[in-house]
Chain A
């Protein structure tokens, strides 16, 4: 039955298609002869018509709201709702020590980025080089990536609590308890550390996918030439994976800047002393708790610009290093 049904429907379609091609090619010939005509114009327009839906979706649902948000950031809050206030919101932001802390924490994240990329990169290398138990580790490393940040945060809240297991272990070996999440100098590193732990699985998978495209002959050649493991990594693996590393750099940075909210919310609530604030947490607090949507828009605009600049810079840098290699 299915065969009987599909066969006839395919054939006319094929016939129609070939017929169509024949028609357009003849139309093109005619166009060339007449040096004008609707067919040529239609063909020129066709690509634009075809990409129009995608462009429209991006423009209407992405760029337009973005512009609205930027525009909104130049208006006031509360009684001044809707009136233009120029750069007042931006001035207020940069005068707010809390926002400056949030920005300096972004700087800290950028500094810690190589660590966040190196960990999955190194572990993926080991898995690729088939260290004993690599199959086991491959799944174990990925496991935290399937947990929601809220669950991860709750787990580490318990582990890192003042009377929690980690301090109990430290106490057993005679080291005084540390207030992991209550000390403003330590808490931010704990949150970043937990974030890296929770998300490096994704980057690891991307690295493994990159390794799949690696030419094994290069590795064999390097080994035959007597290269050590660090040398293999430096001169063979890193250059071959530059595209992958570039991708992981950019996605990890974006991940750090935009998806640490859940962890912050659960683990520290921006504290202690506001030391773990990040721009997105600041935006949420201003919008939701302080009833300052316009100020929050200004902070969002700044975060967007930071992401844009950081992302473009990274791509530029990595492209250059990729070319040199």
Chain B
């Protein structure tokens, strides 16, 4: 009897200890001391990242053979919540993956500026702007993320349009869409359930609507929401919705990945997609084949503008403030953005890597067009906005589609939010 009680007590204590161990396990593996670096991301668990990580680790081992690296893959939808908790407690991973733009800029308090460490990579890699705040770089770019307009050449042919010559001006584009509608397809596959559709719209239409000066000012933080050209972008969003150019039920269609499915299945002729990860040339090529997939510039709205590809650093690795030796952690970031590693990432994940020296001609005409436009491309406008303003813009864009708000009211609210943040 007594022995049995002893055993069960031992079991309870053991379980309790095990419970404590697993609860604190992830937290305690921090600090970068005793020759170990912990990396948080949401990619390393996936099969396509295997050879990328292998290359990066091999490169890092050459520089620091005695430092071990541990990759911890977090679920993406929880990632910033978990990271927020880690930042709040002041301890966590030494190196962490970030999305460019607001997600990293909101958290630079917890990061080490990398300017001195990555100086040699500045020329080779593109997309630094998305990881820069107040002139300091906080992460090394891994992929580029941008927003081309993809179109379905097969639907163009069916509608009697020339697939090699998509519309160059907005008026031509509207006429083309009328022909496409007659052929039984929608003009745009749009998913705005998450309020992301408007972000892509804003960034894609901007270079064809805003003057070059307005564009550069916007990215630099001098945003004139009352400019007629800015209003025009939201006006066009509303007009396209009212004219039935979008796929049905845009406000209840998830962009990821229902709207892309609409485009892939040939129910809509255009989609404002991505360059990397999902909703991109590789996904679409699988369904439409490389010959039927085209990439076009934004149709010119304001005469005299030159459309360009909006793109930024997509994801990149930053170094936490609390790491023991920032130099070692920065070296890991450099290994994670080395040409060999990025080549593997491009090949396996189909992402446009930040290293523009990688040859992509095997990927088909769409990806070749995209990469050729990176040189003349500019940062996307929505990336310059705070998460809070983007969230508001998402909701307002849904109201524009449902007709419960005016364009003037939208720009007014966005201006207030933008100035406050």
Contacts and interface: CB of A to CB of B under 8 A. Distances in A.
B248 interface: yes
B387 A289 contact: yes
A225 interface: no
Interface string B372-411: 0000000000000001100100110011001010000000
B398 A273 contact: yes
B253 A162 contact: yes
Given A163-B248, A288-B78, A271 B193 contact: yes
Interface in A264-300: 268-269, 271-274, 284-285, 287-291, 293
Among A81, A98, A162, A177, the one with the most B-chain Cβ atoms within 10 Å of its Cβ is A162
A226 interface: no
Contacts of B299: none
B395 A271 contact: yes
Interface string A90-110: 000000001000000000000
A177 B249 CA distance: 10
B34 to A, nearest CB: 29
A141 interface: no
Contacts of B88: 293
A182 B398 CA distance: 9
B1 A9 contact: yes
B195 interface: yes
Interface in B234-263: 248-253, 258
B194 interface: yes
A53 interface: no
A259 to B, nearest CB: 18
Given A290-B388, A290-B391, A271 B195 contact: yes
Interface string A152-183: 00000000111100000000000001011111
B70 interface: no
B367 to A, nearest CB: 30
B106 interface: yes
Contacts of B217: none
Contact of B81 (A180, A271, A284): A284
Nearest to B196: A269
Interface in A221-276: 268-269, 271-274
A117 B387 CA distance: 39
Given A290-B387, A293-B84, A269 B249 contact: no
A179 B252 contact: yes
A181 B373 CA distance: 38
A196 B58 CA distance: 54
B48 interface: no
Contacts, number: 85
Nearest to B249: A162
Contacts of B404: 184, 273
A182 B195 contact: no
Contact of A289 (B109, B193, B249, B391): B391
A293 B402 CA distance: 32
Nearest to B388: A290
A161 B252 contact: yes
Most buried by B among A187, A271, A272, A287: A272
B222 interface: no
A273 B193 contact: no
A284 B107 CA distance: 17
B117 interface: no
Contact of B249 (A9, A161, A285): A161
Given A272-B398, A291-B106, A293-B84, A182 B387 contact: no
A324 interface: no
A78 interface: yes
A295 to B, nearest CB: 11
Contact of A182 (B78, B251, B388): B251
A271 B251 contact: yes
A290 B386 CA distance: 9
A179 B249 contact: yes
B395 A274 contact: yes
A65 to B, nearest CB: 13
Given A272-B252, A272-B398, A273-B399, A288 B80 contact: yes
A79 interface: yes
B322 to A, nearest CB: 15
Interface string A186-200: 010000000000000
Contacts of A274: 395
B109 A182 contact: no
Contacts of A288: 78, 80-81, 84
Contacts of A160: 252
Contacts of A272: 193, 251-252, 398, 402
A169 to B, nearest CB: 16
Which 6 residue pairs across A and B have the least CB separation, nearest first?
A162-B249, A182-B252, A288-B81, A182-B251, A181-B252, A272-B251
7 contacts: A269-B193, A271-B193, A273-B398, A289-B387, A290-B106, A290-B388, A291-B107
Interface of A: 9, 78-79, 81, 98, 160-163, 177, 179-184, 187, 268-269, 271-274, 284-285, 287-291, 293
Given A181-B193, A289-B80, 7 more contacts: A98-B395, A273-B251, A273-B402, A284-B81, A287-B81, A288-B81, A288-B84
